[in-house]
Amino acid sequence: MSDLTPLSQLGEFGLIRRLQQDITLTQPSTILGIGDDAAILAPPAGQEVVVTTDLLVEGVHFDLSFSPLRHLGYKAVAVNVSDVAAMLATPTQIVVGLSMPSRFTVEAVEELYAGMRLACEAYGVDLVGGDTTGSRGGLVISITALGQVEAGKAVRRSGGKPTDILCVTGDLGGAYLGLQVLEREKQAFLADPDTQPELDNYNYVVQRQLKPEARLDIVHELRELGVQPTAMLDISDGLASEVLHMCAASGTGARVFSEYLPMANPSLEAAAEFNLDPLTCALNGGEDYELLFTIPVTDHAKIKNHPDITVIGHLTEKNDAVNLITKGGQAVPLQAQGFNHF
């Protein structure tokens, strides 16, 4: 442990110089990256720019006792890229604000940055600026992501029309179940520090929690399929909450069929083990970072064979409200049970 370097030894400027060394810029629109008062970007003609910001706060969004810093760095970028993807835009740049307690070492910050760089490579994003400072509380990661999209093609959550088909990508509930596994292993460790964590059987759900991926692949595939969603958002607070947001913004109702909600087998197995209703996990488990979107009925043929897109229902007139349709055919009002951060 004696090889670790306290942050105070390098100081803010020394740390910035050290982190900056490993950064490469690949976006043609990046004119100037880290190192000045601001980065300079040149969005191509005919493109609009999207911008989104997300905070990850220790003790609220993550627990350093089971979140490896590299994964955390990756996730912090991925969740912002996910918001860009949810506009049908291509992410281009991020800026990163870090507020770090003095117990952090230079090596810890490098791990965090290594994860952010990995995500930047995976999503083709340039890290072009940031601010690095101390903290009197825990670690706070603030990322702002920029993206580009052909003018007029950005997809808002408000564009859904009654009869539009409601689709989700991937599968649901996994990230929430991964969190249950991690919390259980943490309690076991606290009760007996000699316990080895038993995570091997839960790789899928734990990965979903610790290292989610933004569905940028789907953005590219929708473009290739010639499908322009009418409304879209990413599932960060749970499917139910996002469907309600979409319907509120679009001025529609919706019918979501419980039997169509996609869940992976490892998630179903974990739900059974934890005595959790899989439907609740799919509807209200957050942090899956899948995309929820609507398309006109006439585009159904284009997506129906896509292995990673599932039709889960459709929008309706507003006065039909937002309902979950059970296997038995009953309509139950959909309710959000989002996480209250305060």
Residues of span 259-318 touching a copy of itself by CB under 8 A:
none
For residues 160 and 152, give the distance between their C-alpha atoms in angstroms, rounded to a whole number.
16
Contact between 21 and a copy of itself per CB under 8 A: no
Q: What is the footprint of a copy of itself within residues 115-134 (CB under 8 A)?
A: 128-134
For residues 323 and 66, give the distance between their C-alpha atoms in angstroms, rounded to a whole number.
37
Nearest approach, Cβ of residue 164 and a copy of itself (Å): 17
Q: What is the footprint of a copy of itself within residues 64-93 (CB under 8 A)?
A: 83-84, 86-87, 89, 93
Q: What is the footprint of a copy of itself within residues 139-168 (CB under 8 A)?
A: 140, 142, 144-147, 149, 151, 154, 156-158
Nearest approach, Cβ of residue 201 and a copy of itself (Å): 31
Nearest approach, Cβ of residue 298 and a copy of itself (Å): 25
- The reply to whether 52 sits in an annotated binding site is yes
Q: For residue 159, give both structure tokens.
A: 């564009």
Nearest approach, Cβ of residue 47 and a copy of itself (Å): 9
Task: Name the residue type at position 223.
Answer: R
Interface residue with a copy of itself among 19, 27, 58, 173 (CB under 8 A) is 58
Interface residue with a copy of itself among 16, 51, 122, 268 (CB under 8 A) is 51
Q: For residue 265, give both structure tokens.
A: 């087998």
Looking only at the bridges linking them, the beta strands covering 30-32 and 47-57 are unpaired
Nearby residues of 33 by Cβ (< 8 Å), 6 or more positions away: 23, 25, 39, 126, 127, 128, 129
The torsion angle over the Cα atoms of residues 58, 62, 67 and 69, rounded to 10 degrees, is -50
Nearby residues of 198 by Cβ (< 8 Å), 6 or more positions away: 185
Interface residue with a copy of itself among 135, 207, 228, 337 (CB under 8 A) is 135
The beta strand positions in 75-139, using DSSP E, are 90-101, 126-135
DSSP 8-state class, residue 336? -
Interface residue with a copy of itself among 19, 27, 41, 120 (CB under 8 A) is 41
- The reply to whether 157 sits in an annotated binding site is yes
Task: Name the residue type at position 312.
Answer: I
Nearest approach, Cβ of residue 20 and a copy of itself (Å): 13
Interface residue with a copy of itself among 23, 49, 199, 321 (CB under 8 A) is 49
For residues 85 and 122, give the distance between their C-alpha atoms in angstroms, rounded to a whole number.
14
- Is residue 90 within 8 Å of 126, Cβ to Cβ? no
Draw the binding track, 225-244, toward a copy of itself (x: CB under 8 A; -: no contact): -------xxx----------
For residues 23 and 207, give the distance between their C-alpha atoms in angstroms, rounded to a whole number.
26
Annotated binding-site members for substrate: 61, 287, 339
Annotated binding-site members: 37, 52-54, 61, 83, 113, 130-131, 157, 234, 236-237, 287, 339
